[in-house]
Structure 1
Amino acid sequence: MVAAFNTALMRIDAAFAAQRNFLANAAHELRTPLTKMRLKLERLPDGELRDGLIRDTKRLGSIVTTLLQLARLSGQSLTFADMDLAAVARAVVSDQVPMALKHGIDIELRSPARPVSLSGSEAAIRVALENLLLNAVRHAVGTKLIVVEALSPAEIRVVDYGPGIPSDERRDVLQPFVRGRDREGEGTGLGLAIVDQIMNAHGGTVALGETEGGGLTVRLSFNSAHPVDAESAAQAGV
């Protein structure tokens, strides 16, 4: 019975791995033709049809990118290392400011002068924060400002002043392919699900709340924070 049970578990693991590999390979192979298609569409004469096709191609590209992120994260153990959460937040905000400015939105970073020490996967946390900022730009209609806060002992908050998410939908939107009832645009319904998966891998939590005055505040709380001495911080360049 034990041998049969172990064999069944191995088959389940193999099936999940095969599914993960298929999803990652399919997403990777789709990115190149979608990029070529968009470049060709942009050479067409201006018009409503051209704009619609470009918009649809961008949406497909967004879906492929998020599927690739999900496939890479699913079932994988992340490599943790000592890091400075505030430095990661600064780097991501710096990368995403041009994208936000194109939509008429400013991003403000608030962080302490000293490092916010954490043991975690920097690459995964960057993906989580990038998804939160992209989500805010897409869906926080009317906001002119997004605030990113890095707080001790180990927390990140992303605050916008858009329409927010009703309290009865906040848990549901953390599930894959679930979007709010009033949400329109290019969203895939995967961004917040990826954030939730990354936080689970860090033993942390995602909390969606209401911004004072209206809007959405997303709080990422990490449970794996631990002190890093000054020498180790200097060696890590934080």
Structure 2
Amino acid sequence: MTWKLFFTSSIGKKFIMALTGIFLITFLIVHCAINAMIFFNDGGETFNHWGHFMGSNLIVRTMELGLFLFLIMHIVQGLTLWSQNNKSRPVKYVVKNSAANSTWYSRSMGLLGTLILIFLVLHLYHFWTPSRFGGMAGIKALDETSLATYNNEEVHNLYAEMKLVFENNLLIVVVYILGVISLCWHLLHGFQSAFQTFGVNHKRYTPIIKGAGVVYSVVICLLFALMPLAFYLHWVN
């Protein structure tokens, strides 16, 4: 089998999904750790410093291109596999018993994927675009400034950006939390599935991987969900 045939086959597509999924899982750890620095409650100084580092470091910016590429590949392959799975059963079951025929995750993949996509578009618009191209995502800055000073260096004030986005916008907070919940369901399924695709499927290790996947998914997504809530409920200054 040639490489072209492999990557266009069902197995190859699952391989790409697993590979890009593990890369994105690793990225979420770094992204969550930096964002969680808002809980230092130091007016955003530490968070803005590391946010500036991630946005200005040449190596990180180069990896950012790979991140977007992997994210697009992951979405495209996921949609392709979902479409193929639907087409593989063109004749509906005579007696509809969704719970017996498939998992809730597979039946709700379209809804979950849509919520995650909305979450990603909003997230990029609110934070990535201003940090790379300046401005405050089209939101009036009020008394906030788009720049902050850290160790005598001017950096983009992502902390003020988060405050403006979340502090008085309940609808946006709800959309973000729904997106994070959808992400959590996706990670609960995808974490162990990625390792299984690479052949890591052993009665001794699989339960450990599943347990690690549950802990990872819950902790990461809980922290992401707490961030907009923290600004909306004024837990941080």
TM surpasses 0.5: no
The structure with more helix, counted as a fraction of residues: 2
Give the structure-1-normalised TM-score.
0.31
Give the structure-2-normalised TM-score.
0.31
Task: Point out which structure has higher relative CO (alpha carbons under 8 A, 6+ apart).
Answer: 2
